[in-house]
Amino acid sequence: MSDTSHTSETAAFETLAVHAAEPRPAHGGSVVHPLYQGTVFETVPGQAYDDLQYIRLNTNPSQEYLHRKLAALEGAETALATASGMAAITTTLLATLGAGDHLIAAGAFYGGTHHFLTEQAPRLGWTVDFVDPDDHDAWTEALRPQTKAFIVETISNPLARVADLEGIAAFSREHRLTSIIDNTFATPVVFRPHAIGFDLVCHSATKALNGHSDLVAGVVTGSHEQVAVVRHVLNLYGGSLDPHAGFLLARGLKTLALRVRQQGATALALAQFLNGHNAVAEVNYPGLDTHPDHARAAALFDGYGSVLSFRPAGGVEAAEAILKALRLPYVAPSLGGVESLITRPAITSHAGMSPEERAAEGIHDDLIRFSTGIEAAEDLIADFRRALGD
> Rounded to the nearest 5°, which phi and psi values hold at 127?
-115, 145
> Around Cβ 301, how many Cβ atoms within 10 Å?
20
With b meaning 16 or more CB within 10 Å and e meaning fewer, what string describes 54-74?
bbebbbbbbbbbbbbbbbbbb
Question: Are 196 and 166 contacting, i.e. CB atoms less than 8 angstroms apart?
Answer: yes
User: Interhelix angle for 256-275 vs 377-387, to 10°?
Assistant: 30
**Catalytic residue annotation:** 56, 110, 182, 207
Question: Are 167 and 147 contacting, i.e. CB atoms less than 8 angstroms apart?
Answer: no
Residues in the chain: 390
Cα gap 222→76, rounded to integer Å = 5
Q: Which residues pair with 221 in a beta bridge?
A: 79, 201
- The answer for residues whose C-beta is within 8 angstroms of residue 21's C-beta and 6 or more apart is 4, 65, 66, 68, 69, 72
Cα gap 63→387, rounded to integer Å = 44
The Cα-based distances of 236 to 60, 76, 95, 231, 233 in angstroms read 16, 24, 11, 9, 5
Cα gap 148→261, rounded to integer Å = 36
> Around Cβ 292, how many Cβ atoms within 10 Å?
12
- The answer for residues whose C-beta is within 8 angstroms of residue 171's C-beta and 6 or more apart is 136, 139, 150, 177
Strand bridging mode 330-331 / 341-343: parallel
